[in-house]
Amino acid sequence: MAQPLIRLKDVTKTYTRGGETLTVLNRLALDMEEGGYFALMGPSGSGKTTLLNLIGGLDRADHGLVAVAGEDLTVLEGAALSAWRARTVGFVFQGFNLIPVLTALENVELPLKLTGLSGKARREHALHALELVGLSDRAKHRPGQLSGGQEQRVAIARAVVSDPKLILADEPTGDLDRASAEQVLTLLDKLNTQMKKTILMVTHDPHAAQHARTIVHLDKGQLGRIEHNQPAAARA
């Protein structure tokens, strides 16, 4: 088997708050292969977001190895880390996704501003990504004028617009109703199967987790069960 896209070894993360040390991740080890679709489940406070942030280079482990797409994130920092993120990862968060003063199109265009693309090419790419999520008719809308589900789809368009290998999604359906959630999940399936993106999705929802091919359980900072799953998309 090829080198895994994500390699975690002995990863420890603690937070100190008011003199107390809280071990959020405790000597965690896990490999995730490229092209996979992973769901990360676990009770609230079990460290799911923390783990996702470490993998996305938004936070730093105290200890251990976090290697993603061939880079050791424990040594990368500053502008080099920013550039790595821009190149490698697309994020979809639960809340805080879009910049409220920018239109959907402008939000999707943002990551491309970090590339050498011309303004025209950026617009075309962004429009294409909006088309992919079925929202090209909402290009000029501000986030405030979109539904929650539409906002998440715009966020997905933005996550893929610069063609990163890895999509990290933290409870992308957490705030959505059933139908909107289903649309978002279908999109993620599409990114995985058609565009070959590796997806790591944190979710509380067992139904959402069924879309992934690997379900990783996290409990009190340690790895629990790992389920292999025949996802709905593949069954269909």
Partner 1 sequence: MPPIVLLWRNLWRRPLRSILTVMSLAVAVFLICGLRSIITTIRAAADNCDPRRLAVMSASGLFVELPLHYQARIDKVPGVEITTKFQWFGGYYRSQKNFFAQFAIDPETMFAMYPECKVEPDAIQRMATDRTACIIGSSLAREFGWKVGDTIPLVGALHPHPEDKAWEFKVAGLYHSDRPNFDNRTLFFRWDYFEETLKQGGVPPAVGVYSIRVAPGADVAQVIADVEDVFKDSEQRIDCTTEAEFQRQFQSMFGNMPLFLTWIGAGVLIAILVASVNTMLMAMREQTPDIGILKALGFTDGSMFVLFLLQSTFLALLGGGLGVFGALATAPFISAGLEMFAPGYAVQPGTVVLGAVVALAIGPIAGILPAMRARSLTCIAAFRGE
Q: Which residues bind ligand ATP (CB under 6 A)?
A: 15, 17, 22, 24, 42, 44-50
Whichever of 130 and 199 has its CB closer to Mg ion, that residue is 199
Is residue 76 part of the contact set for partner 1 (CB under 8 A)? Answer: no
Please list every residue from 32 through 51 that binds Mg ion, using CB under 5 A.
Answer: 49
CB of 46 to partner 1, least distance (A): 17
Closest residue to Mg ion: CB criterion:
49
Kindly tell me the sign of the dihedral angle through the C-alpha atoms of 88, 220, 4, 232: negative
3-class SS of residue 61: coil
Q: How many residues does the chain have?
A: 236
Instruction: Choose among ligand ATP, partner 1, Mg ion, none what residue 15 binds, the Cβ cut-off being 5 to 8 Å by kind.
Output: ligand ATP
Whichever of 85 and 211 has its CB closer to partner 1, that residue is 85
Q: With CB under 8 A as the contact rule, which of the stretches 17-25, 56-64, 186-194, 216-224 interacts with partner 1?
A: 56-64
What's the Cα-to-Cα distance from 118 to each of 14, 115, 123, 159, rounded to whole Å? 43, 9, 9, 19
Is residue 117 part of the contact set for partner 1 (CB under 8 A)? Answer: no
Contact predicate 171/96, CB 8 Å: no
Half-sphere exposure of 54 (CA within 13 A, CB side): 29
Instruction: Give the pair of three-digit tokens for residue 195.
Output: 């565009």
Instruction: Choose among Mg ion, partner 1, ligand ATP, none what residue 18 binds, the Cβ cut-off being 5 to 8 Å by kind.
Output: none
Is residue 22 part of the contact set for partner 1 (CB under 8 A)? Answer: no
- DSSP E strands in 155-208: the ranges are 166-170, 198-202
Instruction: Give the pair of three-digit tokens for residue 87.
Output: 């190149």
Binding positions for Mg ion, rule: CB under 5 A: 49
